[in-house]
Structure formats: structure tokens, C-alpha cells
A = this chain, B = another copy of it.
Amino acid sequence: MPRYKLEIEYDGTGFVGWQRQENGPSVQQSIEEAVEKFCGTVTNVPSAGRTDSGVHARAMVAHVDIDGDYQGAKVRDAINFHLKPRPIAILSAERVSEEFHARFSCVRRAYEYRITNRRMPLALDVNRTWRVWPSLDADAMDDAAQVLVGRHDFTTFRSVKCQSESAVKSLEEISVMRAGEDVFIRCAARSFLHNQVRSFAGTLAEVGKGKWTKRDLSDALNAADRARCGPVAPPEGLYFIRADYAAGNRS
């Protein structure tokens, strides 16, 4: 069957997460059901990342096999039609080779964590950011964060429920940048552990408040001990923003 690569935006607030589960609506199930309504194909839609409940995506990548030969734009519009009124939008659908796999072919994933650094409650951005106060030193956070770059045992920064065989991963890059009252943490790696970015964000916020030093962060990393992690930041500030594939997998 023809395979299509999908780029997807979603508001994770009302979902149990990306992955199909018994206990509530998931993004994956919503898309699978929309595909079935469109063309009758009952299928599994794998993705580059399995986000938790409340976590958003600006450009999640998934793939779907569809029984029928359609233009990408037709696939995109038809799935969007059947997704209504759920807060999920297929941004693009592109025909790819059968070797393309949204999860296994992905060579690089990127997340953004948004903190709104203010005392006042949120009104316009409820469920879209983590409100933190007192004032954060974003430069100190950026400087400290660099100790996380490279190949490390990230046991400190993964959920005890993480199902990855190994906690050893390579973090390619991380940056912390202030824009007005927002502080953005962006990071990229071939793959991430469960709750890794939220563990980074919560711990880096402690650095921003001056409660942790760069040395404290480095020591916590080297301890490879989950008990040494700072607070885990809440899901609503986290966005899956990008998945990259080797050029040969694109079509």
C-alpha cells in the first residue's frame, strides 16, 4: 500500500498522549479513526515521538499506509475533515517509500519547553506554558545546560517508568533563551528517554532561580541516580517541534 509521511500539529491537553490507550482518547487513535473514515483502511499510525498527556506538537511526524493512490494534499485534507472538531491538524502529507518509518528511520528529534516567567497567573496561555516565579537567569540556565550535551548515562533525568533498554544517550544540543517574559529550552538528540526534557526543564529552572549551580547539575548527571533530579516540569510547556530523516528516506 502507498505510504504517506504526515506532519501533525496538536494540542495535547485533552488526550491521554500520542499513543493509543484504554483509558481515554489519544492522538494516534483519533488519526487512525479519521483514516478509516476517509478510505476504509484500518491501520496503525506510528510516530517519531510518543508524547505524554498534555504535551503538544507543532510538527510531529507519523506515517500511514493507505489503500488507494491519492495526492498528498488530498490525504491531508481528507484526514483533517474527519478529525474535526478535535484539536489535531495534519499540516502535510507526502508520499514516501515503503522503507520510510516515522519511528525507526528518524535520526534526530527536537523538543521545545516553554516557561512563562512571571508572578501573575496565565490568562491567554493556560495549558500552553509552565508559569514559573521568581525571576529566572536564562543565561545561567543556558551555561549550565551545556554539561548535559554529549553521551551520558541519563538515569537522573528519566522517569522510573521509562522502557528504554539503556539510559545512555547522546544529547546533541540544548539552548536556553529568553524572549520577553518567556524562557525557551530547545534540545535535539537522536532519541530521548521518557520525561527527559521535562526533567531537564524542571532542574534547569532551579538553576535559573539560583538554587542550583552548574556544578550541582553536573554532579546530579554524574550520579546517574533518579533521586538526584530536580522537580519534573509539567507537560503543558512541552512541544515536539521537529523530526529529521536521512535524505534517502524522503521518497
Contacts and interface: CB of A to CB of B under 8 A. Distances in A.
Residue of A87, A88, A89, A90 with most partner-chain B CB within 10 A = A89
Contacts of A128: 124
A173 B128 CA distance: 32
Interface string A33-75: 0000000000000000000000010100000000000000000
A91 B131 CA distance: 14
Interface string A83-110: 1100111110000000000000000000
A91 B118 CA distance: 9
A122 interface: yes
Contact of A120 (B11, B56, B87, B89): B89
Nearest to A56: B124
A121 B84 contact: yes
A124 B91 contact: no
A121 B80 contact: yes
Contacts of A88: 123
Given A11-B126, A126-B11, A89 B56 contact: no
A80 B91 CA distance: 38
Contacts of A87: 122-124, 126
Contacts of A126: 11, 87
Interface in A1-40: 9-11
A197 B122 CA distance: 26
Among A9, A11, A120, A124, chain B packs the most CB atoms within 10 A around the CB of: A124
A103 to B, nearest CB: 21
A76 interface: yes
10 contacts: A9-B123, A11-B124, A87-B122, A87-B123, A87-B124, A88-B123, A89-B120, A89-B121, A90-B120, A124-B128
